[in-house]
Chain A
Amino acid sequence: MQQPLITIEGGKPKKRLGLVSSWLICAIALPLPVRARIYFVFLVNFIYNHVLATTRLIISFLGRRFADAMIFLAYYLVLGPLALFGRLLRPSRSAAAPGGAFFSDKEPQDSTAERFERQY
């Protein structure tokens, strides 16, 4: 696939950085022999049209997906685990249903009959 030229619109870069980079590339390319210039331009083309373009695509993709990703991460990696641990570590306030108090001491399962008889 042929890459579009950068300056079809008339050549004038819209930002100062674009102009500085253009002068820099021209200044480097000017004294080079033809073959070395071809390889230099090949490298510049790779950086501009492939590395930078790919980086921009990735950043753009992440930018669009940022809110979704942050909600996902916040819920499943922060809020969810915190709620779970909070529930596991919370001491039980109910004698009848100590299900949430995972680490609290429990009576042995076979003590129910003895506890019933103890009242009398």
Chain B
Amino acid sequence: MSHVFSAVVEKQAAACAPAEAGAEVALLYSGGADSSLAACILAKSFRKVHLNTFSRPGFMACGFSGVHYERMRERFPETEFIHRQIPAGRFYAEVEGRGRWRAFGRHGLLVLNSCGHCKTALHWRNLIFCLQNGVKYAADGAVTGAEEFAEQNPRILMPELAALYAAFGITLLHPSYGEGLVTEPELYALGISPQSKIKMTRKDMQVVCSQQILFAMMMRCLLVGRDFPEYERLARAYLSEKLETIKRETRLWLDNPGAGTRIARLLRD
């Protein structure tokens, strides 16, 4: 079946195409417009797309992520979509809670960067998934214009996350991240979403997070007397330390399979 992609989506799909045929990709999937369009773009060149919806305390309505999944399966029958929910609460607690007071001494209020901790933890869990299942490509639903979120900001966490995956031989892709790419109308044109404007409406069927408000409050306090570039610099320094810890722990887990490493304990249950 052929699909009519717009020029900008075709460009993104070409940029995300894997070198080898029959490759698999593990996508951080919330069910929203951005990650759903990312899944459609990946469906063009990947044989199997793992739609990993992560759950943790504070997330609500994780089941909403199944709505677009069903439509994508009908729309792209030649691609195998596998949708699963993976608990990541322990990874979040580890990222947020470990060395908190020491970090508070060095980075101040940034230790309340709940969205940064969350996305870091979800990428960590996705990395573990890739390593467990031999998946060589990972992807997320990052878009332009959401620079306040560390994992969608090229000056905070985007290059650091790519480096984290690359350290373990995995390529991180951002299919929905392109200048001039507006996800909602593209998703509507592909016949996945029921209307061209779904964000912040009742048709926006995706995981709902109740914790963003703490991030918003932290931003309010941090940006008094600072400009946004300074926030970006501070956030990058703070979250890079977290990623270094993650890299060290993951390496330890790979080198000691079955041993009582921290990741082995986090994966238990």
Contact = CB atoms under 8 A, between A and B. Distances in A.
B148 interface: yes
Given A11-B222, A12-B223, A38-B58, A5 B216 contact: yes
A41 interface: yes
A26 B218 contact: yes
Interface stretch (B109-117, B122-130, B157-165): B109-117
B112 A12 contact: no
B112 A42 contact: no
B220 interface: yes
Nearest to B111: A30
A97 interface: no
A1 B204 contact: yes
B206 interface: yes
Q: Is the interface of B mostly helix, strand, loop or mixed?
A: helix
Given A2-B206, A7-B219, A30-B104, A45 B93 contact: no
A26 B219 contact: no
Given A7-B219, A22-B221, A26-B221, A33 B97 contact: yes
Nearest to A21: B217
Contacts of A12: 220, 223-224
Interface stretch (B172-180, B182-190, B194-202): B194-202
Interface string B55-66: 001100000000
Between B210, B213, B228, B231, the greatest number of chain A beta carbons within 10 A of the residue's beta carbon is seen for B213
B215 interface: yes
Interface residues of A, number: 33
A38 B109 CA distance: 16
Given A22-B217, A38-B57, A5 B212 contact: yes
Contacts of A2: 32, 199-200, 204, 206, 208-209
Contacts of A37: 96, 214
Q: Is the interface of A mostly helix, strand, loop or mixed?
A: helix
A37 B104 CA distance: 16
Contacts of A72: none
A76 interface: no
A1 B208 contact: yes
Contact of A41 (B148, B214, B222): B214
Interface string A16-35: 00110111011001100111
A33 B112 CA distance: 12
A90 B57 CA distance: 72
Interface of B: 32, 57-58, 92-93, 96-97, 104, 109, 111-112, 114, 148, 199-202, 204, 206, 208-224, 228, 231
6 contacts: A1-B201, A7-B223, A11-B216, A26-B109, A37-B96, A45-B210
Given A1-B202, A2-B199, A5-B213, 6 more contacts: A7-B220, A10-B228, A11-B220, A29-B217, A34-B93, A38-B57
Q: Which 7 A-B pairs have the closest CB atoms?
A: A11-B223, A11-B219, A22-B220, A22-B217, A6-B216, A45-B210, A34-B97
